[in-house]
Structure 1
Amino acid sequence: MAESERGILYLVATPIGNLADFGFRAVEILKKADAIACEDTRHSRPLLDRYGIDRPLLALHEHNESTQAPQLIERLVRGDTLALISDAGTPLINDPGFPLVRLAREAGLRVVPIPGPCALIAALSASGLPADRFAFEGFPPRKGPARLAWFGSLRDDPRTLIFYEASHRVEATLRDLARTFPPGRRLVIARELTKLYETLALTTVDSAPALLEQDPDMRKGEFVLVLEGAPPAPPDSDELDPEQTRILKLLLTECSVKTAVGLAVKITGARRDKLYRAALQWSGGQAGGKGADSEG
Structure 2
Amino acid sequence: MVQTHYQKALTSIVPQTLYVVATPIGNLADISLHALAVLGRADLICAEDTRVTQQLLSAYGLQARLLSVREQNEQAMAGKVIAALADGLVVAQVSDAGTPAVCDPGARLAVRVREAGYAVVPVVGASAVMAALSVAGVTQSDFYFAGFLPPKSGDRQKRLADWLKATYPVVMFETPHRIHDTLAQMAAMMDSRTLLLAREISKTHETYLAGTVSEIQAAVLADANQSRGEMVLVLHPAPLEKTDGLPESAQKVMAILVADLPTKQAAALAAEITGANKKALYDWAVAQKKTSQ
Q: What's the TM-score once normalised by structure 2's chain length?
A: 0.78
Larger radius of gyration: 1
* 2:62 corresponds to 1:53: yes
* Equivalent residue, structure 2, for 1:221: 229
* 2:48 corresponds to 1:71: no
Q: Secondary structure at the match of 2:37?
A: helix
* 2:201 corresponds to 1:193: yes
Tell me which of 235, 238, 250 is aligned to 1:230: 238
Shift of 1:169: 1.0
Which letter maps to 1:61? R
Point out where structure 1 has 5 or more consecutive residues left out of the alignment. 240-268, 277-296
* Equivalent residue, structure 2, for 1:138: 147
Shift of 1:219: 1.2
Tell me which of 111, 117, 121 is aligned to 1:108: 117
Higher helix share: 2
2-side partners of 1:4 and 1:16: how far apart?
24
2-side partners of 1:4 and 1:211: how far apart?
47
Pairs within 5 Å for 1:32-43: 32-43=41-52
> 8 Å contact 1:124–1:131 — kept in the other structure?
no
Which letter maps to 1:190? A
2-side partners of 1:131 and 1:49: how far apart?
41
Q: Secondary structure at the match of 2:195?
A: strand
2-side partners of 1:234 and 1:101: how far apart?
47
1-side partners of 2:51 and 2:183: how far apart?
32
2-side partners of 1:189 and 1:208: how far apart?
7
Point out where structure 2 has 5 or more consecutive residues left out of the alignment. 1-9, 249-268, 277-293
Q: Residues 4, 139 of structure 1: CA spacing in aligned structure 2 closer, same or farther, 3 A cutoff?
A: closer
1-side partners of 2:13 and 2:93: how far apart?
19
2-side partners of 1:67 and 1:224: how far apart?
32
* 2:212 corresponds to 1:212: no
Shift of 1:143: 1.1
Pairs within 5 Å for 1:94-173: 94-173=103-182
Shift of 1:159: 1.4
2-side partners of 1:190 and 1:167: how far apart?
12
Q: Residues 163, 275 of structure 1: CA spacing in aligned structure 2 closer, same or farther, 3 A cutoff?
A: closer
CA-to-partner distance for each residue in 1:57-112, whole Å, 9 max, x for gaps? 01111111121123312322332210001100111111100001112223332111
> 8 Å contact 2:13–2:38 — kept in the other structure?
no
1-side partners of 2:30 and 2:39: how far apart?
15
Tell me which of 74, 91, 99 is aligned to 2:100: 91
Shift of 1:275: 5.1
2-side partners of 1:7 and 1:222: how far apart?
35
* 2:267 corresponds to 1:274: no
Which letter maps to 1:54? Q
Q: Secondary structure at the match of 2:225?
A: helix
Q: Residues 68, 234 of structure 1: CA spacing in aligned structure 2 closer, same or farther, 3 A cutoff?
A: farther
CA-to-partner distance for each residue in 1:171-199, whole Å, 9 max, x for gaps? 11111111222x32110010011111110
Which letter maps to 1:187? L
Shift of 1:129: 2.0
1-side partners of 2:12 and 2:211: how far apart?
54
> 8 Å contact 2:78–2:113 — kept in the other structure?
no
1-side partners of 2:39 and 2:13: how far apart?
17
Which letter maps to 1:274? T
Deviates more, 1:74-83 or 1:16-25: 74-83
Shift of 1:225: 0.6
Q: Secondary structure at the match of 2:172?
A: strand
Which letter maps to 2:86? V
| Matched positions, count | 246
1-side partners of 2:164 and 2:275: how far apart?
30
Shift of 1:115: 0.7
> 8 Å contact 1:189–1:201 — kept in the other structure?
yes
2-side partners of 1:4 and 1:138: how far apart?
31
* Equivalent residue, structure 2, for 1:262: none
> 8 Å contact 1:238–1:274 — kept in the other structure?
no
* Equivalent residue, structure 2, for 1:293: none
